[in-house]
Chain A
Amino acid sequence: MHYRKRIIKLIIVASALLLILSVGNLTIVAAETNDSATAGASDVPALEMAPGEFLPISVKLTNFGSKEEINVTVNYEIQDGSGKVFYRWGEEVPVKNTISYVKNIPLPITLPSGQYFALSKINYHDQTAPAVSKFEFTVNRKVAGFFLDQLAVYGLVILFVGAGFFVLSRVFIGRRARRLVLLDYSEAPKENRPFFELISDIIADARKRHGDRAIEIAAEIDGLVLDEEEARVLNVNKEPAEIIALLILKYEKTFKKKIKYQPRKKSPEMKKKLKLVEENLAIARKYFE
C-alpha cells in the first residue's frame, strides 16, 4: 500500500529542549517541545496500519544549545486511547548537531483493531518531564492484502463493473442474435427462393462475424438487389451461381476468411447450382485471389 511507504515525519524540536537544558528549566522544555511536536503531528494524514506491519517514524533531533555531544534517550510507545501500552522500546541516541533517522516500530500481530497513538519521549540526564510527541493512527485487519473497509469498496466496484459487463454483453449478444435470424422468403418466387435463401444466409453469417460491412459488400455486386437495412434479398438479375461465387470471393478477399455455405433445403436443382458455384469459385480462386 502506498501509505505504508510514507514515512510519518515526527520532527521533535529538540532544539528548544537542548537550549533550555543549558539554563536548566526542564518543565518549560517539556511543554514547549510537546507543543512543537503536536503541531508537527497534526499535518500527518490519517494512517491505517495492519497488525504485524512496521510503523515508520522519522525522527530529527537538533542540538542548538551545546557544542558538546549529548546522549538523548528516545522511548517509543504504542498506546490506545485509555493509555494502555501495547509496545515499548527505548534507545540512546548521541546528538552533536543534528541527527535524522527513521524508526520502524513493529506493530504486535495480536494488536486489536482500533485507534492508537504512537509516542516518542525524549529524556536526557536527570530531566524530570520528558518531551513528548505523538500521532494517531488506526489499526485494521487485512484480508488478502486489503483492509476490510477497502475490500468492501473494491467488492462493490467489482460488482458494479461486473453488472455493467453483464448488461453490455446481453445487449451485444442480443444484437448478434438478431443478425443471425434467417430471413423468411416464403413470398419469393418459387424458382428463385432457394437462391434468395442461400445468398441471404451467406450475408447474414458474414454480417454476424464482420458487421454491416458485409451488407455494403453484397450491395456492390452487380445483379444482386438488396434491402440494405434488413439485408433482405429482393431480386437476383443475373445467374445466381455467379452472384453467389462473387459474393463468397469478395467476402473471402475482404475478411481473409474462408466462407462456408449451405442451402436450407437440398434439391437436385440446388445441387447443380452449388456445383456451378464451386466451378466459378475455382476459377475465381485460381486467377483472382
Chain B
Amino acid sequence: MTAGKKSSINERAKILVVDSDKNTMKAYKEVFAEKTKFKIISAAGGREALKKMKTGHFDLVILDVMMPKMSGIDVASAMSVNSRLKKIPVILASALPVASNAFWKIIREHNEFAVVKETVEKPIEVNELLAKIKRVLDKQ
C-alpha cells in the first residue's frame, strides 16, 4: 500500500476489512489509523467476516477476493442474498484486475455482485482508496 498526502476524511465510519494476508491487514490498519478516524474491524477470512457482519453493524466492507476456504466472491454472493447484509456496500480489493471494464460488466450483470459498489486493485494507492470509501459512504 503506497502512502499519499494526508486525506481530509474524518468520518467515524465502522469498516470491516476482510483479508487473509497478515501484512496487508497490518498495512490497512496503519493507513486508516494515520489518515482517518474510521473504526476498523478485521476478519482474516470469508466465514469470519460473515459471522461478524451478522452480529454487528458495519457501514462498509473492504473485501479481498482470493482467500482460503471462502473467497471474496462467495462472501459478496452470500451478502447479496441476505436482506440485511445486502444493504452494506462493499469495496472489492484484489491483485486481480477488478477495476477493468470487463470485470465491471460482470459486476453489473450478476446479482451475486449486487453489494459491490467500488473496486481497487492491489497494490493499493491510499488516496484512491480513501476517495472511493468517501464516495461510497456519501451515497449511503
- A residues sitting closer than 8 Å to B (CB atoms) are 221-223, 237-239, 241-242, 245-246, 249, 276, 279-280, 283-284, 287-288
Task: Choose among B20, B24, B96, B102 the residue with the greatest number of A CB atoms under 10 Å from its CB.
Answer: B96
Any A CB within 8 A of the CB of B106:
yes
Instruction: List chain A residues, Cβ under 8 A from B68.
Output: 239, 241, 276, 279
A288 to B101, CA, bound (A): 11
Instruction: List chain B residues, Cβ under 8 A from A287.
Output: 73, 96, 103, 106
Any A CB within 8 A of the CB of B47:
no
A262 to B11, CA, bound (A): 48
A221 with B66: CB separation less than 8 A: no
Q: Which residue of B lies closest to A273 (CB)?
A: B68
Q: Using an 8 Å CB-CB cutoff, how does the interface string of B92-129 with A read, 1 for contact, 0 for none? A: 00011100101100100000000000000011000000
Chain A nearest CB: distance from B68 CB in Å? 5
Chain B nearest CB: distance from A217 CB in Å? 13
| Sample of 4 further A-B pairs with CB below 8 A, known A239-B20, A241-B68 | A249-B96, A276-B68, A280-B71, A288-B100
30 of the cross-chain contacts (CB-CB < 8 Å) are A221-B95, A222-B95, A222-B123, A223-B21, A223-B23, A223-B95, A237-B23, A238-B21, A238-B24, A239-B66, A239-B68, A241-B66, A242-B21, A242-B66, A242-B95, A246-B95, A246-B96, A249-B96, A276-B68, A279-B68, A280-B66, A280-B71, A283-B65, A283-B96, A284-B66, A287-B73, A287-B106, A288-B97, A288-B100, A288-B103
A91 to B122, CA, bound (A): 95
- For chain B, the bracket of interface size reads 10 to 19
A122 to B39, CA, bound (A): 119
Q: Which residue of B lies closest to A279 (CB)?
A: B71
A177 to B100, CA, bound (A): 38
Instruction: List chain A residues, Cβ under 8 A from B102.
Output: 288
Main secondary structure of the interface of A (DSSP, over half): helix
- What are the 9 A-B residue pairs with the smallest beta carbon separation, nearest first? A280-B66, A222-B123, A242-B66, A238-B21, A239-B21, A276-B68, A222-B122, A288-B96, A237-B23
A241 to B95, CA, bound (A): 13
A201 to B103, CA, bound (A): 30
Chain A nearest CB: distance from B65 CB in Å? 7
A239 to B96, CA, bound (A): 14
Instruction: List chain B residues, Cβ under 8 A from A239.
Output: 20-21, 66, 68
A200 to B25, CA, bound (A): 26
A283 with B23: CB separation less than 8 A: no
Chain A nearest CB: distance from B46 CB in Å? 11
Q: Using an 8 Å CB-CB cutoff, how does the interface string of B1-35 with A read, 1 for contact, 0 for none? A: 00000000000000000001101100000000000
Known: A223-B23, A242-B66. Is A284-B96 also a contact (CB below 8 A)? Answer: yes
Chain B nearest CB: distance from A263 CB in Å? 17
B23 with A238: CB separation less than 8 A: yes
